[in-house]
């Protein structure tokens, strides 16, 4: 099998490429340049896809004796990930740029080019498993749940899964991957994992959005619409936020209030009691199935829903109605924001996902 190994410069993708070579595949390594700022440097565990990462990936490829290339995907990344991130915040939603990167860059743009060049699959260092099921190839959680990355892969389609290869899916722990990298002589064996948003390496998301979206003063209101404070820019607030609200009117019960909603059209931030963060139903029209769809998606089916990469799965009932994937958790979920991704599981299998367009509070406005 001809395999294109996506090499980020980290330890996971390095070991994934090595295992693909050991399995006897014809492997070519590629690093994606996602920024036009060629001198971008890495700061500890912040950022990724930097010039240091490209050099780390090249050193691993040289040690493996495989061809290695750097492909410039910066324009596509800007259009499909960065611009989407900014526009979602401008619309008052909370996007997940890692989901968009997997959906539109690593498993769309990269996979499309790989197939055009005659490769059979793209290999990545994600911790997830592929299983042959009765309806075709299925995406499942990795063997080590603490490192499981199936959530961020929930956007993959059946066609994409057919050309995907996850060599680390059955690895019990990240420590074993690091030990294997050290045994192979990879200098990235103890390299810190990257975190935060890769195109905001200093971690100052609020400052980044203020520059991109602009900051315009507005009102903070309660659930009934009464003005109880002001803000310097609605983009700086996220659902569930408690600190930094600067409210001029105390709550009647004296308890803290939390951000419940951001309304960009009116430039207002809605706050309320913690109980109002509980969501009894969520839905999204931008949904997809990771492999075979349910036989009748309109018929409610039991599942589990997860709304964060490292969140706890919650038992739920889901179905498709009026063009939306509707999910009703058995118990309300706290702190759901529009723009987040809800990934639906059946057992360990990723069944599908949706970008959340609406989240209905379990607490009536009059409460």
Q: Give the active site residues.
A: 101, 198
pLDDT at 201 (0 to 100): 75
pLDDT at 365 (0 to 100): 63
Q: Give the burial class of 253: count Cβ atoms within 10 A of its Cβ; 0-12 exposed, 13-18 middle, 19 or more buried.
A: exposed
Domain ranges, ordered by start, for the chain: 2-125+167-183, 215-272, 277-361
Q: Which CATH superfamily is domain 215-272 in?
A: Adenine nucleotide alpha hydrolases-like domains (2.30.30.280)
CB 184 within 8 A of CB 196: no
CB 8 within 8 A of CB 125: yes
Helices 83-90 and 205-213: crossing angle in degrees, nearest 10, is: 80
pLDDT at 367 (0 to 100): 41
pLDDT single digits (tens) 321-355: 999 999 999 999 998 989 999 999 999 999 999 99
% of the chain at pLDDT higher than 90:
66
pLDDT single digits (tens) 184-233: 999 999 998 876 688 887 778 878 888 888 778 999 999 889 999 999 88
CA 68/CA 27 separation, integer angstroms: 9
CA 36/CA 363 separation, integer angstroms: 47
Confidence of residue 48 (pLDDT cuts 50, 70, 90): low
pLDDT at 232 (0 to 100): 86
Confidence of residue 303 (pLDDT cuts 50, 70, 90): very high
pLDDT at 165 (0 to 100): 97
Q: Which strands form 227-231's sheet, in the order they lie side by side? A: 227-231, 218-221, 268-272, 258-263
Confidence of residue 39 (pLDDT cuts 50, 70, 90): very low
Per the prediction, the chain carries an average pLDDT of 90
Confidence of residue 271 (pLDDT cuts 50, 70, 90): very high
Check: CATH 1.20.140.10 for 277-361? no
Give the CA-trace dihedral at 100, 332, 265, 356, to 10 degrees. 30
CB 236 within 8 A of CB 210: yes
pLDDT single digits (tens) 239-262: 989 888 878 777 888 889 999 998
Once rounded to an integer, what is the mean pLDDT over residues 233-238?
84
CB 91 within 8 A of CB 84: no
Q: How many CA atoms lie within 13 A of 267 on its CB side?
A: 11
Confidence of residue 94 (pLDDT cuts 50, 70, 90): confident
pLDDT at 49 (0 to 100): 67
pLDDT at 250 (0 to 100): 78
pLDDT at 183 (0 to 100): 97
The residue among 159 and 44 whose pLDDT is bigger is 159
pLDDT at 9 (0 to 100): 94
Once rounded to an integer, what is the mean pLDDT over residues 130-144?
92
CB 57 within 8 A of CB 68: yes
Q: Where are the alpha helices (DSSP H) in the chain?
A: 11-22, 51-64, 74-77, 83-90, 97-101, 110-116, 158-161, 174-183, 205-213
CB 237 within 8 A of CB 259: yes
Indicate the SS3 state at residue 167: coil
Strands 128-133 and 333-334: unpaired
Q: What is the 3-state composition of the chain as percent helix, strand, coil, each rounded to the nearest 5?
A: 25, 30, 45
Residue 298, pLDDT above cutoff 80: yes
pLDDT at 304 (0 to 100): 98
Long-range contacts of 263-268, Cβ-Cβ distance < 8 Å, separation of 24 or more: 263/92, 263/234, 264/90, 264/91, 264/92, 264/234, 265/92, 266/218, 267/216, 267/218, 267/219, 267/234, 268/218, 268/219, 268/220, 268/221, 268/234
Comparing 33-47, 194-208, 349-363, which segment has the lowest mean pLDDT? 33-47
Fold of the domain spanning 2-125+167-183: Rossmann fold (3.40.50)
CB 341 within 8 A of CB 354: yes
Residue 38, pLDDT above cutoff 70: no
CA–chain centroid gap for 267, Å, is 27
Residue 40, pLDDT above cutoff 80: no
């Amino acid at each position: 099998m001809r395999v294109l190994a996506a090499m980020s410069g980290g330890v996971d993708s390095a070991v994934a490429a090595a295992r693909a070579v050991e399995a006897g595949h014809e492997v070519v390594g590629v690093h994606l340049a996602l920024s036009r700022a060629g001198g971008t440097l890495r700061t500890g565990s912040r950022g990724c896809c930097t010039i240091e990462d490209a050099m780390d990936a090249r050193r691993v490829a040289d040690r493996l004796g495989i061809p290695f290339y750097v492909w410039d995907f910066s324009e596509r990344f800007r259009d499909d990930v960065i611009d989407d991130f900014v526009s979602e915040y401008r619309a008052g939603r909370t996007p997940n740029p890692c989901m968009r990167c997997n959906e539109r860059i690593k498993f769309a743009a990269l996979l499309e080019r790989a197939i055009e060049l005659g490769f059979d699959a793209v290999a990545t260092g994600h911790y997830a498993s592929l299983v042959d099921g009765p309806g075709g190839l299925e995406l499942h959680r990795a063997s080590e749940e603490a490192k499981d990355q199936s959530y961020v892969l929930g956007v993959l389609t059946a066609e994409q899964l057919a050309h995907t290869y996850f060599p680390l899916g059955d690895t019990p722990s990240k420590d074993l991957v690091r030990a294997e990298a050290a045994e192979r002589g990879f200098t990235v064996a103890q390299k810190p994992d990257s975190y935060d948003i890769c195109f905001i390496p200093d971690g100052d998301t609020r400052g980044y959005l203020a520059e991109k979206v602009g900051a315009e003063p507005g009102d903070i209101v309660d659930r009934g619409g009464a003005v109880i404070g002001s803000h310097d820019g609605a983009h700086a607030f996220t659902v569930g936020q408690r600190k930094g609200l600067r409210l001029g009117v105390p709550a009647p019960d004296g308890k803290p209030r939390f951000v419940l909603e951001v309304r960009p059209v009116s430039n207002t931030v809605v706050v309320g009691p913690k109980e109002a963060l509980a969501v009894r139903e969520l839905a999204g029209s931008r949904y997809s199935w990771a492999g075979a769809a349910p036989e009748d998606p309109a018929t409610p089916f039991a599942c589990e829903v997860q709304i964060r990469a490292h969140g706890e799965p919650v038992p739920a009932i889901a179905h498709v109605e009026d063009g939306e994937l509707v999910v009703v958790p058995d118990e309300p979920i706290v702190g759901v924001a529009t723009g987040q991704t809800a990934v639906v599981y059946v057992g360990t299998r990723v069944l599908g996902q949706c970008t959340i367009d609406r989240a209905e509070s379990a607490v009536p406005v009059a409460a």
